[in-house]
């Protein structure tokens, strides 16, 4: 292996049912964020800035279109430049596809061996952050042990049942890693493992080859999680904004957090540029009848009505006398005249008829699925609402 060289693996095959229907046809990392970005833009940008020129992406079969549409040739992240290379693997999960499990191992083993890198950076899904990977890798090099994991101090109330909280000694050596559902569910501050780690490539290769001979699939992220208490593992503290996006509420809240200056500045650090897919759009048009407050509006929108404390993606249209507040509207959404949208997430290409009300609650926003034409009110109260409107086109 070439000394000091690092390759990267980004894995997004762990499904998050709590994010349905937003992830029914897109992986978690391809979720839109803050009106202009996708979640994957952040780690791709961090990889670019760290000058890591070899990347292996893993997604579930069936998510191909959204991945290819967004990443394309990877120009925005310099993935198409001469010294840089990136590869994609689409994993088909099924109990009877033993050959595909073997192919999963073989493809990663082949990638690491051909990358000839001393270190491998692993990035899982669902964590939203903007980290200097070069600093993380440099920290790992000072120890040159098997694993260095990134963590963020978080209240346990913002952790999920499959998250890991780590304990460390005074030198940041990990002494324990426990599943969060074993901890009291309160606001106690714990060190949350961010599903980001740097490992020695030789160690990871040995683990992958060993697991390949066993029955069943053990993913790279699980290999690292299991190893934390068995091999010397060091903790690296990340202090910027972190969104632990595992369900609709956490996704909604992470977006709404960007309307607060402190959170926005913490994520969009001026020293850590976030690159995104180039979208050539005209500036947003604000009619004299429009009233936009405390919101972020992407380019290419037409605003005739009122928008408050909301995030609007490109080509969104808010018609006269329409009201949108505390909501996330994805691209090409149309809210027709006199309609009201409050505490809601409207996926791409949603059309809301004139006079219709879509009203959720701060703790339980309503989600309207992609390509839905909403023709009747969707109001969340204590009783259940018509799930067909939410989940069906």
Rounded Cα distance, 261 and 270, in Å: 13
Region of poorest pLDDT, from 59-68, 169-178, 278-287 = 59-68
Using DSSP's 3-state secondary structure scheme, residue 177 falls into: strand
Question: pLDDT band for position 319 (50/70/90)?
Answer: very high
Region of poorest pLDDT, from 97-111, 271-285, 350-364 = 97-111
User: According to DSSP H, which parts of the chain are helical?
Assistant: 41-49, 64-71, 98-115, 133-143, 201-212, 220-227, 248-257, 261-267, 387-391
**Superfamily for the 2-267 domain:** Spore Coat Polysaccharide Biosynthesis Protein SpsA; Chain A (3.90.550.10)
CB 378 within 8 Å of CB 390: yes
Task: Please state the pTM of the whole predicted model.
Answer: 0.92
Residues 37-42: contacts with CB under 8 Å, at least 24 apart: 37/274, 37/276, 38/70, 38/276, 38/277, 39/125, 39/128, 39/245, 40/10, 40/12, 40/70, 40/71, 41/274, 41/275, 41/276, 41/277, 42/128, 42/129, 42/130, 42/274
Cα-only R_g, the chain:
22
pLDDT of residue 130: 98
CB 13 within 8 Å of CB 91: yes
Question: pLDDT band for position 66 (50/70/90)?
Answer: confident
pLDDT of residue 143: 80
φ and ψ at 70, to 5 degrees? -85, -50
CB 316 within 8 Å of CB 301: yes
Rounded Cα distance, 393 and 391, in Å: 7
pLDDT at 388 over 70: no
Say what percent of the chain tops pLDDT 90. 72
- Mean pLDDT over 176-197 rounds to 80
Better-scored residue on pLDDT, 14 or 131: 131
Element (H, E) at 8: strand 2-12
Question: pLDDT band for position 95 (50/70/90)?
Answer: very low
What residues does CATH 2.160.10 cover in the chain? 285-391
What residues does CATH 3.90.550.10 cover in the chain? 2-267
User: According to DSSP H, which parts of 258-319 are helical?
Assistant: 261-267
pLDDT tens column, 228-250 = 989 999 999 999 999 999 999 99
Rounded Cα distance, 197 and 234, in Å: 10
384, exposed or middle or buried, with CB in 10 Å at 0-12, 13-18, 19+? exposed
pLDDT of residue 1: 77
266-285: b (≥16 Cβ within 10 Å) or e: bbbeeebebbbeeeeeeebe
pLDDT of residue 96: 43
In the chain, count H helices and then E strands: 9, 30
pLDDT at 82 over 80: no
Paired tokens of 385: 């609402």
Pairing of strands 32-33, 291-293: unpaired
Question: pLDDT band for position 103 (50/70/90)?
Answer: confident
- Mean pLDDT over 63-77 rounds to 88
pLDDT at 149 over 60: yes
- Mean pLDDT over 53-80 rounds to 89
CB 163 within 8 Å of CB 183: no
Question: pLDDT band for position 99 (50/70/90)?
Answer: low
The mean predicted confidence, pLDDT, of the chain is 90
274: alpha, beta or left? (left if phi > 0; alpha if psi -120 to 50): beta
User: Which residues, 6 or more positions from 148, have their beta carbon under 8 angstroms from its beta carbon?
Assistant: 136, 139, 140, 197, 198, 199, 233, 234, 235, 236
pLDDT at 305 over 60: yes
Paired tokens of 112: 């690491």
Q: Which residues pair with 168 in a beta bridge?
A: 174
CATH number of 285-391: 2.160.10
């Amino acid at each position: 292996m070439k000394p000091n060289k690092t390759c990267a693996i980004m894995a997004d095959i762990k499904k998050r049912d709590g994010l349905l229907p937003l992830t029914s046809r897109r992986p978690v990392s391809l979720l839109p964020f803050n009106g202009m970005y996708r979640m994957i833009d952040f780690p791709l940008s961090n990889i670019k800035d760290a000058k890591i020129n070899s990347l292996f992406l893993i997604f579930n079969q069936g998510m191909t279109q959204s991945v290819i549409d967004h990443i394309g040739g990877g120009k925005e992240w310099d993935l198409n430049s001469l010294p840089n290379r990136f590869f994609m693997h689409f994993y088909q999960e099924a109990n009877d596809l033993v050959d595909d499990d073997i192919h999963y191992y073989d493809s990663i083993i082949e990638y690491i061996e051909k990358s000839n890198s001393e270190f491998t950076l692993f990035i899982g899904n669902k964590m939203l952050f903007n980290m200097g990977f070069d600093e993380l890798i440099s920290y790992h090099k000072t120890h040159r042990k098997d694993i260095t994991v990134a963590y963020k101090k978080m209240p346990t109330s913002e952790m999920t049942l499959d998250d890991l909280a780590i304990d460390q000694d005074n030198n940041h050596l990990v002494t324990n890693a426990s599943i969060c559902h074993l901890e009291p569910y309160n606001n106690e501050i714990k060190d949350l493992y961010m599903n980001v780690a740097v490992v020695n490539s030789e160690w990871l290769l040995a683990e992958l080859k060993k697991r390949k001979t066993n029955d069943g699939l053990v993913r790279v992220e699980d290999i690292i999680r299991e190893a934390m208490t068995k091999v010397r593992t060091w903790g690296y503290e990340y202090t910027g904004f972190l969104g632990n996006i595992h369900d609709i509420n956490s996704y909604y809240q992470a977006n709404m957090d960007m309307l607060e200056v402190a959170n926005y500045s913490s994520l969009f650090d001026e020293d850590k540029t976030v690159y995104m897919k180039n979208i050539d759009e005209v500036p947003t048009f604000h009619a004299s009848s429009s009233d936009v407050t405390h919101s972020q509006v992407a380019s290419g929108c037409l605003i005739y009505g009122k928008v408050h404390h909301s995030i609007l993606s490109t080509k969104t249209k808010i018609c006269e006398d329409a009201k949108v507040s505390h909501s996330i509207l994805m691209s090409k959404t149309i809210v027709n005249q006199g309609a009201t949208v409050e505490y809601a997430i409207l996926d791409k290409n949603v059309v809301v008829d004139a006079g219709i009300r879509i009203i959720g609650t701060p703790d339980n926003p309503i989600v309207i699925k992609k390509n839905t034409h909403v023709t009747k009110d969707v109001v969340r109260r204590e009783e259940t609402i018509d799930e067909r409107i939410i989940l069906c086109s």
